[in-house]
Structure 1
Amino acid sequence: MPDNVLIFDTSLRDGEQSPGVAFNIQDKLEIARQLEKLGVDIIEAGFPATSPGDLAAVKAVANEIRGARIAGLARAVQRDVDLCAEAVKDAASPRIHVFLSTSDIHLMHQLAKDRDTVREMARTMVARAKGYVEDVEFSPMDATRSEWEYVYRMLEDVIEAGATTVNIPDTVGYTTPEEFSAFIHGVLENVKNIHKATISVHCHNDLGLAVANSLSAVRAGARQIETCINGIGERAGNASLEEVAMAISTRGDFFKLGTNIKTRELYRTSRLVSDLTGMPVQPNKAIVGANAFRHQSGIHQDGILKMRETYEIMDAHEIGWPSGSEIVLGKLSGRHGFKARLDDLGYELTDEEFERAFAAFKDLADKKPEIDDRDIESIVGEERRADDESFKLDLIQVSTGNNLVPTATVRLATPDGRTLVHTSTGTGPVDAAYQAINALVGIENELTEFSVKSVTEGIDAQGEVIVRISCDGRTYTGRGADTDIIVAAAKAVLQAINRALSVQRPEDASVRVNP
């Protein structure tokens, strides 16, 4: 067996199934570029059969990314396989990932088919996929709640039909490390042609065991782990890429394996995905959480000052955590200083993106004397995603007080260059701004979640607002930052609405049921 574990990232597919997450094509391309830079082996770019938009997004990723294999997901039905083949055909290394349920509960209540019929479906569609590409992956969905012997026989069928990777999904996060290890051993011992395929695992986190299960499978013989950045994904999420990669790296003495992940890109990748999904990283998140390398206990602080390794098993710099600016940025700082700090933080901006970010930096510098890394991350996160086809906030003016009716006037720039203005009242200044924006964009939606936090410390800190809106049965997330919290709220609402306007609904909702 190889001494390397392949890292398969499904942030662009399973990660997008997190409630409130909706990527457009540019979002997917931006994340895919960073995943390539991170050293991910396989990028699952999407599920082409879900919508024309996702088909186009997978095509775009396949056309551009050359340093990783590009996979698309397909149900074991002819239309899905054909569309997936169309989507990935221009990739340097294309993969079609076919899945089909194997548990009795799925066969009886979802597919309404018998076991023999389902085995034949799997074999036929893997063979069809093999006719398009050499690299075919198969997943027996809900494998950990299936009869193991039935899974073994299905794996033999699909390997015989041409599958080069067989993935064992813990679709509902049901298994435990010991049980999962035994399952992988069972696959190695009972699938007679398993030597022709790589064993992969795809673990969900419903019981908080996704990473532990994935690592136990690697110890048992699996050589591909399917992950998401920040552990995002359906329900409670997937195995976290950064945790899997650093566990294998930090405990090389135990696993005696490696990965191709460039760990210094982990922090940057985590922040990018958090920004584009609108899902904050919890402070106590392993590896990339704000508290991961902070020490408050006096005993711990004393030890760290004497020798870092007394209370840290990893070096924050190896994960890409910025060490803090040696250049004090403020309103007198110029382009060179700002560019140097962007380079230190790992950002690669086009000339147009840089000019927008620099303009926003100078605007912020007029409001607060010193700009730190968190401010810069916030600036870049907003400015580099400016979309010419989106509504843009041109002006907001609010009147409020304890004896006044909260009133907001909002002026938006439209995609075709027009300017729209509306004034509304509300229960508070944020509600008034929300009502004014809604009146201008003209789509029905409901604000379901609103949260605010400080990006940095101090009275002049930027405030960051995260909102979720419900529109046409789907949830969309928006994020905005500004030293004025009302402006930040308006930016966040407008970003969520722009996402709702840009995302096409799937043609077949049942397609979303997957590993």
Structure 2
Amino acid sequence: MDNNKIIVFDTTLRDGEQSPGCSMNTEEKIKVALQLEKLGVDVIEAGFAAASPGDFDAVSRIAQTVTKSSICSLSRAIESDIKQAGEAVSYAPMHRIHTFIATSPIHMKYKLKMSEDEVIKRAIHAVQYARTFVDDVEFSLEDAGRSEISFMKEVMDAVIGAGARTINLPDTVGYRLPTELGAMVKELSDFAGNRAIISVHNHNDLGLATANTLAAVLNGARQIEVTINGLGERAGNSALEEAVMAIKTRKDAFGDLYTTINTPEIYATSRLVATITGVEPQQNKAIVGKNAFSHESGIHQDGVLKHQETYEIMKP
């Protein structure tokens, strides 16, 4: 594996669709998936196959349509979910099952009502069962941002041993600061070594999703879970366009790290998603907002006319 390559995992069709008012029908999801493939996304999380017959149909049809990106379905750590995920993605040349269980004390106590040992056993079985359908299994420690490092290491050891290739660390409620999340990723990335790829999935409740994603990349994460226009639950997710363009633009900070995103396709992808969902990015949204490359000040206009880089730092 190229340790400088940042895998881009797009979850617009799953977490992004969970934004209020953002539902898409199957044909619309296929259009978005084909554009994500054109954009150069490495992994497309096409949905949650077990959520409904409509979700299963959308995931399976995307799996039959897209050939250049890996197609993934989310599933809870239960056999029925995993079976449906495995069946739905089976049509794709490259496919993945993404299964998860919560690891934070608050989730284990109040939501799962399970002990740490029970969580570990459930996680192991989920990964082992998923491996009967696919070789590529991703495991998420839900609410990693509020989980204890020592317990996360136990879970990671267990699921890597069971066959998980990617370990995802979601900041499910957008709680962590970039310095905190970076330190957590560094410790867990060092712990995993070359046994698994470390991934992050950051929510934007404090407006820090992209900052946290970039902090994670600088500290060893080699997969980023993102959405077009930052769509997602509550305040949204880390925006693909922001994370990708930051890595591309700030080579002084990111060095040899890179993505294989076809950046000239970012705007077309943003517009397609906005048109289909009916959710427009705010006008001053970074990278894709209507005003992102507009200049009102006469001083700024004069500078840009003389030399574009006086007030513009990137060309997608």
* Aligned-partner Cα distance in 1 for 2:217–2:245: 14
> What's 1:109 paired with?
110
> What's 1:92 paired with?
93
Residue identity opposite 2:92 in structure 1: A
Scaled by the length of structure 2, the TM-score of the pair is 0.98
1:201 is displaced (CA, Å) by 0.3
Scaled by the length of structure 1, the TM-score of the pair is 0.60
> What's 1:122 paired with?
123
Residue identity opposite 1:295 in structure 2: H
- CA displacement 1:438-469 (0-9 Å, x = unmatched): xxxxxxxxxxxxxxxxxxxxxxxxxxxxxxxx
Q: Alignment partner of 1:72: what SS?
A: strand
Q: Alignment partner of 1:45: what SS?
A: strand
1:189 is displaced (CA, Å) by 3.2
> What's 2:174 paired with?
173
Residue identity opposite 1:281 in structure 2: P
Residue identity opposite 1:52 in structure 2: P
1:143 aligned onto 2:120: no
More strand as a share of residues: 1
User: Identity, % of aligned pairs?
Assistant: 53
> Mind listing any 5+ residue stretches in structure 2 that lack a counterpart?
none
> What's 2:250 paired with?
251
* Aligned-partner Cα distance in 2 for 1:190–1:226: 21
1:188 is displaced (CA, Å) by 2.6
CA contact (8 A) 2:189 2:221 kept: no
* Aligned-partner Cα distance in 1 for 2:141–2:183: 17
1:253 is displaced (CA, Å) by 2.3
Aligned length: 314
* Aligned-partner Cα distance in 2 for 1:18–1:311: 33
- CA displacement 1:120-173 (0-9 Å, x = unmatched): 000111011011111000000001101111011101100000000000000000
Over 2 Å off, 4+ runs: 188-191
> What's 2:15 paired with?
14
Q: Alignment partner of 2:194: what SS?
A: helix
Q: CA RMSD in A?
A: 0.8
CA contact (8 A) 2:218 2:254 kept: yes
* Aligned-partner Cα distance in 2 for 1:261–1:188: 24
> What's 1:266 paired with?
266
> What's 2:62 paired with?
61
- CA displacement 1:251-272 (0-9 Å, x = unmatched): 1221021101001000100000
- CA displacement 1:212-267 (0-9 Å, x = unmatched): 00000000010000000000000000000000110011112210211010010001
1:281 is displaced (CA, Å) by 1.3
Higher RCO (CA 8 Å, separation ≥ 6 residues): 2
1:52 aligned onto 2:74: no
Residue identity opposite 2:242 in structure 1: E
* Aligned-partner Cα distance in 2 for 1:113–1:239: 30
- CA displacement 1:342-391 (0-9 Å, x = unmatched): xxxxxxxxxxxxxxxxxxxxxxxxxxxxxxxxxxxxxxxxxxxxxxxxxx
Residue identity opposite 1:308 in structure 2: Q
CA contact (8 A) 2:82 2:97 kept: yes
- CA displacement 1:23-49 (0-9 Å, x = unmatched): 111011000000000000000000011
1:299 is displaced (CA, Å) by 1.0
1:305 aligned onto 2:301: no
> What's 1:201 paired with?
200
CA contact (8 A) 2:99 2:139 kept: yes
> What's 2:238 paired with?
239
Q: Alignment partner of 1:156: what SS?
A: helix
- CA displacement 1:36-94 (0-9 Å, x = unmatched): 00000000000011000000000000011001000000000010101100100111101
* Aligned-partner Cα distance in 1 for 2:275–2:23: 12
> What's 2:190 paired with?
189
Q: Alignment partner of 1:96: what SS?
A: strand
* Aligned-partner Cα distance in 1 for 2:211–2:22: 26
* Aligned-partner Cα distance in 2 for 1:217–1:146: 16
* Aligned-partner Cα distance in 1 for 2:199–2:4: 14
Q: Which has the larger radius of gyration?
A: 1
